Homo-oligomer: A and B are copies of this chain.
Amino acid sequence: MSILLPAGYRAGAAACGLKRTGDADVALIVSGGPASAAGVFTTNRVQAAPIGVTKRHLRAGNARAIVANAGNANACTGARGRADATETAEVAARCMGIRRKDVLVASTGIIGHYLPMDRLRDGVTAAAAALSSDGLEAAARAIMTTDTRPKLAEATAGGGARVVGLAKGAGMIAPEMATMLGFILTDAACDRGFLSAALTRAVRASFNRVSVDGCRSTNDTVLLLANGAAGGPLVVPGTPEAEAVQDGIDSVCVSLARQIVEDGEGATKVVTVRVRGAANDREARAAARAIVDSVLLRAALNAADPNWGRVMAAVGVSGIALDPNAVDVWLGGQKLCERGAPGPGDLSRAAEALRARDVEIVVDLSRGSAECVFLTNDLSTEYVRLNAEYPT
């Protein structure tokens, strides 16, 4: 069941040798007419060259195209990297007969290597020649790095409009930013201010609630284009139409974020961490972050070990002034910790439940009513192998 691009968009991909496998490594997405546009970027102080260029091109609040490459992050590449990112936009613009500042640029891959521009120029040109209304999956495949499968999602957005997204994971995934490359496209017509607020809201509840390894990348970028090709009226905030579009964007972002965790490097499980009973949202989030950042706990989950002590140890360093003797912990539906001590739950039933692909950890801090849900996965020997062998 393949997903179609929203009305008015075309996508294409090409291989130009940035991936040693010979797979497609350049993706191009273009809207037939002008689109309003918004972006969310990594909060890492070290930001890749394309992020600077894309932020500048987004200033006017609209764009026509996205050009992205995998295999080279164009990060930590100084002035030459900035010139290369600008030229990449320029080459794409020329191919499509649009202005350079209407092209957004994104890169993912190894840090600290200059882009081989001779090859990339050819790649962008070939991707432009391959543009088609059914090129979505090819584009999603082209931006993959250690991902084992393309990540795509779709939703309706009211009034016949649709939202479609593509993304790549799969390592260096942490919240506090966009957390990877994600491109969201809608054929709804959206007010620029609405679009920016909608993206921020959607990212907060999706990409900022997942963690694979706690490592924030230099290249994380989520872009949202809205070209109005579905023919509806301009969507403005505070209307039922706006709600429908927001729901569509939320749904696509949540699906893509989950797919990233499912396909996390070496992952064998998707772990939902639900912290409740926090005094406030900040606390709930801090506790959830501490749990998903524990490599010890994530290693235990790989072996379906109901090691609730590692949950407690993680919560204890979350910076919350908690009373450990008030904390309850459930693993695999079993209450293994009650008021900070061994609970009535059954360890072997918990271990049984943790053997599933989807597992849940629930922590009740007994301090209030705030909640936070985070997704992560287990830490496997395969993660280490992948990241030890990912070559410089």
Contacts and interface: CB of A to CB of B under 8 A. Distances in A.
Looking at chain A, what size class is its interface with the partner chain? 35 or more
A47 B308 CA distance: 15
A108 to B, nearest CB: 12
A130 interface: no
B78 A305 contact: no
Given A46-B313, A215-B313, A218-B316, A384 B387 contact: no
A46 B316 contact: yes
A316 B112 CA distance: 14
A294 B295 CA distance: 11
A76 B342 contact: yes
A322 B392 CA distance: 24
B342 A114 contact: yes
Interface of A: 43-47, 73, 75-81, 110-114, 171-172, 176, 213-218, 293-296, 299-300, 302-303, 305-310, 312-317, 320-322, 324-325, 327, 336-337, 339-342, 347, 351, 379-381, 383-385, 387-392
Given A295-B295, A303-B389, 20 more contacts: A45-B321, A45-B322, A46-B315, A46-B340, A47-B316, A75-B309, A76-B309, A76-B340, A78-B340, A110-B307, A111-B309, A111-B310, A114-B342, A171-B296, A218-B313, A299-B383, A300-B390, A307-B392, A308-B392, A381-B385
